[in-house]
Chain A
Amino acid sequence: MLEVVAATVTFSAPGSPLIRAVNGVSFTVPAGMFVVMIGTNGSGKSTLLGSIAGTVRLNGGAIRLAGCDVTRWREDQRARFLGRVFQDPRAGTAANLTVLENIAVAACRGRRVGLSWATTRALQSAAAERLAAIAPGLETRLDQPIGSLSGGQRQIVTLVMATWHRPDLLLLDEHTAALDPAAADRVVQATARLVRDHNLTALMVTHSLTQAAALGDRLLLVHRGQIAFDVQGIAKRRLSVDELTERFNRLRSADQLDETAAKTLAERYV
């Protein structure tokens, strides 16, 4: 379960006004819910995700994972609750290590690492089994450097790694955005299957309105550092891509109107 309570993140550059990238956002993701998050560029969704993962510090508010207040925890400390997949397939895996060695590191998520053997027989057969179930063929490449795999294959291995031990929250950060359409499709299917089969709690950020309409139990639309639209249940299931596109466009044109108005005001009165 994830609880975001009045989360605020501000950025300030010298000589420019304070920017509230995330402006008092609150929402709760109960256990077992699959939430999809979309937003315009610069809406603050990446910052919001970063503040949950621990890469961005909150200026106000709190983040709770599985009932535990993690607001002041470092990124690596929060890993005991989180499984993460990144936009860049390279970021979630260590290219020089073999597929099995990468999985071995994931098998230690949230646990102490000692001087016991990393890649045991037991781990090897478990890894082969899990990979074969989600992407047949990958299990034959356990001993190859993971850098020799394609981006899509690496994302699927990263998904397996992130869910090796059941995470309290699976964080997916536009994890298909860097892939070609066919690979993106395979990764989306693998994601949906893993989330469904293991009844995972997940938060997925995406740029794809098609994915946003098709996937998940709930949809959050982030705009200007706030949640502009929150829909779940039957309403979410009925949501069409066209409707989403229209909502998006309305927000964008409202933005442009604001900008024009601000410009006019500035020209006339400043």
Chain B
Amino acid sequence: MITLLSTWTFGVALGLVALGMFVSYRLFSFADITTDGSFTLGAVVTAVLLVWEVDPAIATLAGMAAGASAGACTGLLHAVLGVEPLLSGILMMTALASVNLVVLGQSNRPLSGTITLFDRADAALLSTVGQIGFSGAAASEAARLGFVLLTATVAVVLLYLFLRTKLGTAMRAGGNMPTMARALGRNTGAMTVAGLAIANALTALSGSLVAQYQGFADVQMGIGMIVWGMASVFLGSALVGSVGLGGAIIGTLAGSVTFRLLVATALRAGLDPDWLKFTTAVVVLAALVVPRLLVRGSQSAAAR
């Protein structure tokens, strides 16, 4: 029971990375490798502030802000200096590896003895989950899941509402067809910067929550996050199909949870954890290629 709840908690918390990838990759077609660095950045900034006994809410927001500025830097590299998207992300990710190590001061830092957002969640939600029927350790775990669900819901709703405003709609247009957006007076460079800032703020929030949840921050914890995010985005669109904006956003979050459940099942069935990232990469490749092959197959069938 606890393992299942924990799987869900991780799935939802990492779903924020997927939401970030939805913004950078789906809306701006920007395969943003900054993700790997900004996930860790969110975690280490929050961890250090927690050790300094800063309020966990402020520490989390600070982690998000750090992620946002990392994303903005990647955007500036691309929009102002004309560095291509992939290379901009690689440069920022590499630079962040040093930044993260310097901020954390060591490669791994436990958060035992600090007050995290999850301690607050325990205190606030324990009686509610008790009423639903959870008790003991499961109740505490359920409270944690309830908290990340709440956070993810707020993120989803805010993102959706933002993307429906004039600014958000213009940003989507700019990501989809820059020529059109410029012809209608929009500064597409500034929009890319803003879009990547939002995407990496979400990724850093995820890193911050994961660090607080597992009780430590590690400079390696962001490795492979971009692939995780992409897998969730692809899986999400496979789950919900081509629906409106709201459906696509919720689908992305659902994709992350589904993917985490699949991974947990695979591990339980005996998958060697060393092969986890390899398997993730294969899943992303399959998600990219299979739909294309299916289309080609149906076309050649139609031709016959």
Contact = CB atoms under 8 A, between A and B. Distances in A.
Interface of A: 53, 74-77, 79-80, 82, 84, 86, 90-97, 101-102, 104-106, 108-111, 113-119, 161-162
Interface of B: 162, 164-170, 172-173, 176-177, 179-188
A104 B169 contact: yes
Nearest to B169: A118
A162 B183 CA distance: 9
3 interchain residue pairs of minimum CB distance: A79-B185, A118-B169, A94-B176
Contact of A117 (B164, B176, B185, B186): B164
A82 B184 CA distance: 8
B177 A93 contact: yes
A114 B165 CA distance: 7
Contacts of B182: 75-76, 79
Given A105-B169, A113-B170, A115-B166, A93 B180 contact: yes
Nearest to B170: A113
Contacts of B179: 86, 91-92
B186 A76 contact: yes
B187 A76 contact: yes
A105 B173 contact: yes
A207 B183 CA distance: 22
Contact of B186 (A101, A102, A105): A105
Contacts of B188: 76
B172 A116 contact: no
A104 B177 CA distance: 15
Contacts of B176: 94-97
B181 A105 contact: yes
A102 B179 CA distance: 13
Given A79-B182, A93-B180, A105 B170 contact: yes
A118 B184 CA distance: 15
- Chief secondary structure at chain A's binding surface: loop
Given A97-B172, A117-B166, A118-B169, A106 B184 contact: yes
A251 to B, nearest CB: 31
A228 B17 CA distance: 59
Contacts of B181: 76, 94, 105
B167 to A, nearest CB: 5
A84 B173 CA distance: 16
Given A74-B187, A92-B180, 6 more contacts: A108-B184, A110-B185, A113-B166, A113-B167, A114-B165, A119-B164
B19 to A, nearest CB: 17
B185 to A, nearest CB: 3
A257 B209 CA distance: 75
Contacts of A86: 179, 183
Given A114-B165, A115-B166, A109 B173 contact: no
A108 to B, nearest CB: 6
Contacts of A111: 185
B177 A114 contact: no
Contacts of A106: 184
A94 B180 contact: yes
Most chain A CB inside 10 Å of its own CB: which residue of B162, B169, B188: B169
Contacts of A80: 185
B244 to A, nearest CB: 8
Nearest to A120: B166
Contact of B180 (A53, A91, A116): A91
A92 B272 CA distance: 51
B170 A161 contact: no
B185 A118 contact: no
A255 B166 CA distance: 51
A82 B180 contact: no
A231 B210 CA distance: 71
Contact of A118 (B168, B180, B186): B168
Contacts of A75: 182-183
Q: Which of B162, B165, B166, B167 has the most CB of A within 10 A?
A: B166
Given A91-B179, A94-B176, A117 B184 contact: no
Contacts of A114: 165-167
A162 B185 CA distance: 11
Contacts of B170: 105, 108, 113, 118
6 contacts: A76-B185, A94-B176, A101-B169, A113-B186, A118-B164, A119-B169
